[in-house]
A and B are shown apart, each in its own frame.
Chain A
Amino acid sequence: MVEINLEFSGGLELLFGDVKQHKVQVPAKDGAIQVLISDLLVWIRGNLLKERPEMFLKGDSVRPGILVLINDCDWELCGRLASPVEDGDTVVFISTLHGG
């Protein structure tokens, strides 16, 4: 079990009851030692996402156009879905799909 701070912005918060920040406990997959971002996404879908999952997820990843930062670092630098998340980490999801 790891405790993670989640943040949704850029309009994504609307899919989560209009709440931007969440502190959550996420279990590792059976037999696994680490929690990966891919596990986190599955957990979010099953436990946190309130509506329109297609606005957040596409296939087994986030919808293209949603940025993911792990401890303020672009997830593209740390392995995307395979990035491990640890106790106390902050994961931020920002939609770029809204008008500007």
Chain B
Amino acid sequence: MVRKCVLCDERRAVLRRPKTHQQVCKDCFFAAFEDEVHRTIIDNRLFKRGDRVAIGASGGKDSTVLAYIMKLLNDRHGYGLDLFLLSIDEGITGYRDDSLETVKRNEEQYGIPLKIVSYKELYGWTMDEIVREIGRKNNCTFCGVFRRQALDRGAAALRATKMVTGHNADDVAETVLLNILRGDIARLSRCAAISTGDDGALPRSKPFKYTYEKEIVMYAYFKKLDYFSTECIYSPNAYRGFAREYVKDLEAIRPQAILDIIRSAEEFRFSLTAKMPEQGTCERCGYISSQRWCKACVLLEGLNKGLPQLGVSKSRGSAKAPSASSRTPIFLA
């Protein structure tokens, strides 16, 4: 049985949109998908003419589709943006080295210049070396903290004025739930914002905030985009995995749940008496930090002193600054 597209009433429908339940053909899907991302960009004033935009690119599905669509919309609607691909080499053999090959192909396919910054050059350690030192237990903490800073350092080297990441609606819903489960009020209050950076950091935004993961993958599939998909060899991150699975189960029953979680989080109002960390700068490297030392410097100090448990203890928010430093990260900015 061939069903027709409800939008053009002409061509064969190829997918059911999770957001609207409409059955649409390939061409109408492409048009709707691209137009919705364009609307998100315009309605939220994510960019201004002349912005230099660093696209956080991992070679995975989300960032590959993001790079493709940023290029397409910039050309189609004349945003006047200079685009760059920015990739982080964490130094994970058999994972990141392969995905970086994908990003290098994307550089040629889309004609967007690529910059790669590595943990090794920034921090003196690759993730492989860190895991050898600390084992597989807390390695995601190191990687996450280091990546966030590495992206900012790379963007500064590109003289970028904005950064975009490929986080999609499913990712945001998952993060909202995680922050509730952890009671992390500070993160909960900002994780559903489409852009951040009011605190002096480089403005970051998520043009796919309202875009379903299903549609991103379908778009990549029908457009035959070249992306890389292998799980990080070190990633157990069981707690996030649980939230992820829960979101997917909800979506299977009622796709709207994903957008509803995001909408709920957008409408949260936080008590003025809730304890929020104050933003300052790290005494050692100058990165934004709510403590004397930023998390990356604390973790790095632990690594360099052979005390890798430093900064990964359960008592979040009480990172102490150790005294002397053996190695300060070399920053590009």
Hey, which bits of chain A sit against chain B, CB under 8 A? 9-11, 14, 63-65, 67, 69, 72-74, 76-78, 92, 94-100
Contacts and interface: CB of A to CB of B under 8 A. Distances in A.
B248 A65 contact: yes
Contacts of B61: 10, 96, 98, 100
Which are the 5 A-B pairs with shortest beta-carbon distances? A100-B62, A74-B15, A64-B248, A100-B60, A65-B248
25 contacts: A9-B229, A11-B229, A11-B230, A14-B230, A63-B248, A64-B251, A65-B213, A65-B248, A65-B251, A67-B214, A67-B217, A67-B218, A69-B221, A73-B12, A73-B13, A73-B14, A73-B15, A76-B16, A77-B3, A78-B1, A92-B221, A96-B170, A98-B60, A99-B232, A100-B60
Interface string B48-62: 000000000010111
A71 B23 CA distance: 16
B244 interface: yes
Considering residues A69, A72, A74, which has the most beta carbons from chain B within 10 angstroms of its beta carbon?
A74
Considering residues A78, A99, A100, which has the most beta carbons from chain B within 10 angstroms of its beta carbon?
A100
A64 B249 contact: yes
Considering residues B62, B64, B221, which has the most beta carbons from chain A within 10 angstroms of its beta carbon?
B221
B221 A94 contact: yes
Contacts, number: 75
Nearest to B251: A64
A64 B252 contact: yes
B216 interface: yes
Nearest to A14: B230
B168 interface: yes
B175 interface: no
Contacts of B221: 67, 69, 92, 94
